[in-house]
Amino acid sequence: MQLSICTISFRHHLVSLENIAEWARCHDFQGIELWGVHARGLETQPQYDAKWIKDMGLSISMLSDYLPIVGDARDAEEKCQHICRLANYWETSKVRTFAGHQASQLVDVKQRKTMTHRLHKICCYAADLGLDVLVETHPGTLADTPNSIIQLLEEVNHPALKLNFDTLHVWEAGEDPVAFHRRVAHCIGHYHLKNVRSRDQLNVFSPDNVYSPAGCRYGMVPLLEGAMDYHRFLPEVLKNDHATASLEWFGNDVKQTLLGDKAALDSVQRHIRMHS
């Protein structure tokens, strides 16, 4: 498995991409998941590009943003073109997005048809540029429950549509991540890995809390120390050498936690190989 860190983990830190990349390289990560906000901010710094990141021994594993599938069509088209252009600039083939910002049960049939049609158009545009569109499994979106995720894949019906399999959020929806992973493995383009101390603290990952500098971080825990059982799930992913994943850490002590999680993953992977 190829493992990345996320620049969003450093969203409240005064640190450069060069510093992040140097640290990632020194600690044997393979890639960086670049947040769209950061990608746009780097447009005025042409010294940072795909060649530079490759010379560092890394790659941009995914460009993560939020492509609008509701609202003004022209604004949505311009943002889609901008993000896809940035993905090409960084020579990544993956653009992450959310499937709207409403829970699937709150979206009526007409609204859903409009949203999935917009998502299909985004996939068509991205595919022409050699890109996949990865919809994240996430609460408060059309990809918030297993049934809605399967329905979304069928409705959009485009080969460029893939899943960013956020394991914790699948578990949050009440599904067995191992069982659901086996149902959709052929559609997964990337994984997000994170954990929580207990199920009743899942709201710590709500966007309003995560993006706030004053947000609560209590309940965010290292990968193998939380309520979701990654010991069951990880063998499903780690046996695939071509899988790509990001450690999505939003809490404090970023570098120390990422190093601890990477060491834990390496240990699990060694165990799997010894017993395979």
Query: Domain of 157: which CATH number?
Result: 3.20.20.150
pLDDT for res 201? 98
- Residue 119: what are its φ and ψ, rounded to 5°? -65, -35
pLDDT for res 89? 98
Number of separate helices (H) and strands (E) present in the chain: 11, 10
Q: Which amino acid is at 147?
A: N
Q: How many CB atoms lie under 10 A from the CB of residue 14?
A: 6
Give the model's confidence band at 243: pLDDT under 50 very low, under 70 low, under 90 confident, else very high: very high
Contacts of residue 274, defined as CB under 8 A and 6 or more positions apart, other chains included, come to: none
pLDDT for res 208? 94
Decide if pLDDT at 70 tops 90.
Answer: yes
Give the model's confidence band at 274: pLDDT under 50 very low, under 70 low, under 90 confident, else very high: confident
pLDDT for res 239? 82
Decide if pLDDT at 273 tops 90.
Answer: no
Average pLDDT, the chain: 96
pLDDT for res 275? 80
Give the model's confidence band at 155: pLDDT under 50 very low, under 70 low, under 90 confident, else very high: very high
SS3 at position 68: coil
- Indicate the pairing of strand 244-247 with strand 220-221: unpaired
172-228 tens-digit pLDDT: 999 999 999 999 999 999 999 999 999 999 999 999 999 999 999 999 999 999 999
Q: How many CB atoms lie under 10 A from the CB of residue 170?
A: 27
Give the model's confidence band at 272: pLDDT under 50 very low, under 70 low, under 90 confident, else very high: confident
pTM of the model as a whole: 0.97
For residue 228, the enclosing domain spans: 2-275
83-141 tens-digit pLDDT: 999 999 999 999 999 999 999 999 999 999 999 999 999 999 999 999 999 999 999 99
Q: Which amino acid is at 160?
A: A
138 in active site: yes
Q: Which of 71, 112, 77, 66 is nearest to 207 (CA)?
A: 66
Q: How far is CA 47 from CA 103, 108, 175, 264, in A?
A: 41, 47, 44, 34
Considering the chain, what percentage of its residues have pLDDT values greater than 90?
96
- Tokens coding 11: 């969203």
Catalytic site residue from 138, 181, 190, 192: 138
Number of domains the chain is built from: 1
